[in-house]
Amino acid sequence: MIDAQRLLPRNKHDLDSIPFIVEAGYSAIAPILDELLDWTADSNWPVARPLADFLVTLGPPLIDPLSRTLRGTDGARKWHCISLIVRELPVDVLGGLEEDLRRLADHPSEDDRQEEVDIQAREALLRFERMSRPA
Q: What is the pLDDT of residues 4-59, one digit of tens each?
A: 889 999 999 999 999 999 999 999 999 999 999 999 999 999 999 999 999 999 99
In a domain, 73, yes or no: yes
Q: What is the dihedral of CA 69, 81, 65, 122, to 10 degrees?
A: 80
In a domain, 20, yes or no: no
Note the pLDDT tens digit of each residue in 63-99: 999 999 999 999 999 999 999 999 999 999 999 999 9
In a domain, 19, yes or no: no
CATH number at residue 59: 1.25.40.750
How many folded domains does the chain comprise?
Answer: 1
- Asked if 58 and 87 touch (Cβ cutoff 8 Å), the reply is no
In a domain, 114, yes or no: yes
In a domain, 15, yes or no: no
Distance in angstroms (rounded) separating the CA atoms of residues 83 and 74: 14
Residues of the domain holding 109: 34-132
Instruction: Indicate whether 135 pLDDT > 70.
Output: no
In a domain, 1, yes or no: no
Nearest CA to 32 out of 2, 74, 76, 70 is that of: 2
In a domain, 14, yes or no: no
In a domain, 91, yes or no: yes
